[in-house]
Amino acid sequence: MAYDNTVTVVGNVTRDPELRFTPGGAAVASFGLAWNRKGQNDEEIVSFFDVTCWRNLAENVAESITKGSRVIVYGRLDQRSWENQDGERRSKVEIVADDVAPSLKWATAELTRNEFRGDGATSSAPTGGGGRAAQTPQSDEEPF
């Protein structure tokens, strides 16, 4: 059985990413994404997606992406189900991002490379500027 349910969506961020942390300390960020397309008779059709990012990606997205940004999201579809206060069964499909990048079709971007840390965690030590947390490499090798 194949488990390949990858999706790539290019769209506009509809709300600033919200960064939270799990009780275990893992960072999780969520934001909305709108994808616009033309339908028959040139009417505008908009699809809305909720996007969830984890760990280092979550922290970088929360620091880099804002409402209105045009981004490329690569990830997988995930369906969640729950019961609301009225006892009704609810569900939704969201994108769990593996990568998020700015779209350079109508904008430019300046990239700042973070230091690599093999376990995916971040350090709380401050760097010299920008308020970013320093990350200590586990070895002298580049991450790729």
Token reading at 9: 């969506």
Q: Where are the alpha helices (DSSP H) in 42-136?
A: 55-64
**Structural domain includes residue 88:** yes
Q: What pLDDT sits at residue 129?
A: 37
Pair (70, 11) in one structural domain: yes
Pair (77, 143) in one structural domain: no
What does DSSP assign to residue 133?
B
Pair (120, 98) in one structural domain: no
Domain count along the chain? 2
Pair (31, 94) in one structural domain: yes
Strands 44-54 and 89-102: parallel
Pair (10, 30) in one structural domain: yes
Report the distance separating Cα 123 and Cα 133, nearest Å.
6
Q: What pLDDT sits at residue 65?
A: 92
Cβ neighbors of 123 (< 8 A, separation 6 or more) are 117, 133, 134, 135, 136
Q: Is the pLDDT of residue 140 over 60?
A: no
Q: Is the dihedral of CA 102, 105, 109, 112 positive or negative?
A: positive
Note whether 20 and 65 are within 8 A (CB). no
Token reading at 44: 């505008």
Q: What pLDDT sits at residue 126?
A: 35
Beta bridge partners of 26: none
The pLDDT tens digits of the residues spanning 10-53 come to 999 999 999 999 999 999 999 999 998 888 888 899 999 999 99
For 52, the domain range is 6-102
